Amino acid sequence: MVKKQSNLYHHSFFYTEKKSFFMLYKKFFISLIDHVTFDFKLEFFSYLWHTRPFFNLMRQIMRILHTMLRVGDLDRSLNFYQNALGMRLLRTSENPEYRYTLAYLGYGDEENSAVLELTYNWDENQYDLGTGFGHIAIGVDDIFGFCKKVEQAGGKITRAPGAVKGGRTVIAFAEDPDGYKIEFIENKMAQAGLGN
């Protein structure tokens, strides 16, 4: 019984010491943060963001999965995205009860890349695109050659390749069969702002 009490005392002592140590460390850390410059804080927390396993895990979990477009003719849209834009049909699913079909396309697998989801409602063949939607952007290596291939495949180029207004980034625009805008940007400039 005495030995057990001794062990209990021992554990309590070390727990108290550990707790006191972390409390002192916390006070020191807060005091340090209060006295450093904003630039240092920014750099320090940026370092934490890129190195801590928890944050790295969250960054891996959080990602864009797909963009959904409603289309009036699924076969026509599949032909455009596969043959004119070179996407790959990844999977399809049908729901007879609610009368719609989904088709997923992309340049990579869904596990690693954002993809396009085409939704075909069996009883709808036309949609009002409205003014809220802008465009989908696709990076290409040779924008001039790619636009020629799109046209040869029956696609519609609405803006020929050229520098964006007020900048040097080379872009072009096309329309899919339903009128959705698709922007092409040369890969070497894809990470830059359009005004650069």
- CATH number for the domain including 115? 3.10.180.10
- Clarify whether residues 92 and 120 are in a common domain: yes
Average pLDDT value over all residues in the chain: 82
Say what the pLDDT of residue 71 is: 97
Residues with pLDDT less than 50, the chain: 1-18
Say what the pLDDT of residue 51 is: 61
- Clarify whether residues 107 and 135 are in a common domain: no
Say what the pLDDT of residue 55 is: 57
Helix (H) or strand (E) holding 34: helix 2-34
Say what the pLDDT of residue 63 is: 81
**Max Cα-Cα span within the chain:** 90
Say what the pLDDT of residue 34 is: 65
Q: Nearest-CA neighbor of 171 among 87, 182, 86, 180?
A: 182
CB 135 within 8 A of CB 176: no
CB 65 within 8 A of CB 111: no
Q: Can you give the residue range of the structural domain that contains 139?
A: 128-196
The pLDDT tens digits for 134-181 are: 999 999 999 999 999 999 999 999 999 999 888 888 999 999 999 999
Q: Nearest-CA neighbor of 153 among 174, 184, 178?
A: 174
Instruction: List C-alpha distances in Å: 54 to 25, 65, 141.
Output: 21, 21, 35
* Residue that finishes a domain, picked among 76, 105, 124: 124
- Clarify whether residues 110 and 132 are in a common domain: no
Identify the active-site residue in 110, 117, 175, 183: 183
- Clarify whether residues 68 and 57 are in a common domain: no
- Clarify whether residues 80 and 101 are in a common domain: yes
Residue in this structure with the two tokens 């020929």, named with its chain if needed: 160
- Clarify whether residues 137 and 88 are in a common domain: no
Q: Nearest-CA neighbor of 194 among 167, 172, 154, 173?
A: 167
- Clarify whether residues 152 and 117 are in a common domain: no
Catalytic: 17?
Answer: no
Say what the pLDDT of residue 146 is: 96
- Clarify whether residues 20 and 55 are in a common domain: yes
Q: How many domains does the chain have?
A: 3
Say what the pLDDT of residue 165 is: 86
- Clarify whether residues 166 and 188 are in a common domain: yes
Task: Please state whether the predicted TM-score (pTM) of the whole model is above 0.85.
Answer: no
